[in-house]
């Protein structure tokens, strides 16, 4: 199924109805498979522009991609987050499809991912990974993904089951309202939380996930990248939901203060003296810290609300794919 099939159900002339599509392929040392990836996406999305962003590859990935007909650009700062930041800033399209260039994701699912984005009026569709061989998904990666996805779902809500998938489709208003700050593989976490915080319409669809070709190695470091993603979740919780974070700390300190101060209060009620002066000072200091955290949470929550409103205003300034198609339909009808 190809993108041209979207046009069959629409009465618009081709120049009015076909949204522009950009396929974004971050690439680092994928010379063994990059030509295959480019060719498969071209066969499924013949009208799309295919961009390969080389991230300091030490092999001939860029030359192979260029020879396959892709538009090749480079990002010198090492890290997938830097690459995504550059891609989103440089490229202008109606629909963006981003996929890792390691030939583990199913290019054949691209038209359906795009169809879901258009038909349901969504801003992001995540291609959740289904391991077809049983060996493509390493146990440590599977557990880490489940743990981190569950953590984000608990803290920020949402229904995502594969937060770290590298296969996603975005609307233009998602991309142009997203302020990327991540440097590495934690970029998927940032993308997910951005959508959840602005309460964007999002979805997900199962896609095939297969083993890497022999001789190709994963760039993901299970432990170090896992801790970086965990750190990013903590930073985003502080940034996007400060009252929840500092309020929880305040509640914990409040309970500790009561625990420390209870014996002091009981003895004072019985004898009228405070024999445990150090304990009284500790309880008082802990209570002061509890209120300081509470007020910090309240102040930062106000700042966060202002930031969220600014991002939401930027998001609402850009029309959705559905609005663009409806406007084109109305213009076409008026011109008849």
CB 256 within 8 A of CB 178: no
| pLDDT per residue as tens digits for the range 45-63 | 999 999 999 999 988 899 9
In this prediction the pTM is: 0.79
- Asked if residue 325 has pLDDT above 80, the reply is no
> Which residue's structure tokens are 């974004």?
24
Integer distance in angstroms from the first to the last C-alpha of the chain?
A: 31
- Residue 184: pLDDT band (50, 70, 90) is confident
Eight-state DSSP code of residue 48: S
Distance of CA 268 to the CA centre of its chain: 55
| pLDDT per residue as tens digits for the range 266-312 | 887 888 777 778 888 999 999 999 999 999 999 999 998 888 888 88
Q: Which residue has the higher pLDDT, 333 or 104?
A: 104
Phi-psi label, residue 199: left if phi above 0, alpha if psi -120 to 50, beta otherwise: left
CB 44 within 8 A of CB 108: yes
Identify which of 92, 103, 23, 98 has the alpha carbon closest to the alpha carbon of residue 61: 103
Contacts of 214 (CB under 8 A, 6+ apart): none
Q: Which residue has the higher pLDDT, 259 or 215?
A: 259
Dist. CA 271–CA 269, nearest whole Å: 6
Dist. CA 275–CA 209, nearest whole Å: 67
Return the pLDDT at 221.
67
Return the pLDDT at 161.
87
- Spell out a b/e string for 138-151, using b for 16 or more CB atoms within 10 Å of the CB, else e: eeebeebbeebbeb
CB 98 within 8 A of CB 168: yes
Find the mean pLDDT for residues 99-128: 93
| pLDDT per residue as tens digits for the range 3-26 | 444 443 333 334 455 789 999 999
Backbone angles phi, psi at 170, to 5 degrees: -125, 155
């Amino acid at each position: 199924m190809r993108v041209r099939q979207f046009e069959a159900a629409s009465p618009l002339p081709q120049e009015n109805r076909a949204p522009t599509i950009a396929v974004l392929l971050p690439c680092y040392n994928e010379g063994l498979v990059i030509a295959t990836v480019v060719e498969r996406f071209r066969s499924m999305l013949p009208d799309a522009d295919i961009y390969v962003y080389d991230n300091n590859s030490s092999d001939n990935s860029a030359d192979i991609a260029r020879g396959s007909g892709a538009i090749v650009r480079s990002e010198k700062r090492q890290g997938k987050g830097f690459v995504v930041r550059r891609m989103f800033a440089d490229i202008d399209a109606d629909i963006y499809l981003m996929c890792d260039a390691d030939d583990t994701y199913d290019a054949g699912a691209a038209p359906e991912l795009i169809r879901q984005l258009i038909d349901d009026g969504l801003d992001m569709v995540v291609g959740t990974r289904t391991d077809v061989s049983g060996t493509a998904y390493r146990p440590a990666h599977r557990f880490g993904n489940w743990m981190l996805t569950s953590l984000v779902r608990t803290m920020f809500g949402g229904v995502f089951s594969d937060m770290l998938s590298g296969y996603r489709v975005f609307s233009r208003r998602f991309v142009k309202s997203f302020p990327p700050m991540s440097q590495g593989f934690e970029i998927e976490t940032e993308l997910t939380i951005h959508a959840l915080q602005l309460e964007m319409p999002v979805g997900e669809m199962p896609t095939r996930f297969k083993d890497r070709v022999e001789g190709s190695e994963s760039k993901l470091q299970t432990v170090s990248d896992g801790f970086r993603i965990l750190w990013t979740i903590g930073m985003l919780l502080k940034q996007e939901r400060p009252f929840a974070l500092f309020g929880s700390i305040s509640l914990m300190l409040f309970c500790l203060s009561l625990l420390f101060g209870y014996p002091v209060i009981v003895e004072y009620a019985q004898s009228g003296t405070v024999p445990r002066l150090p304990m009284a000072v500790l309880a008082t200091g802990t209570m002061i810290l509890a209120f300081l955290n509470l007020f910090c949470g309240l102040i930062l929550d106000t700042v966060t609300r202002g930031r969220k409103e600014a991002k939401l205003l930027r998001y609402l300034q850009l029309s959705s794919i559905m609005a663009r198609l409806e406007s084109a339909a109305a213009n076409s009808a008026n011109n008849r």
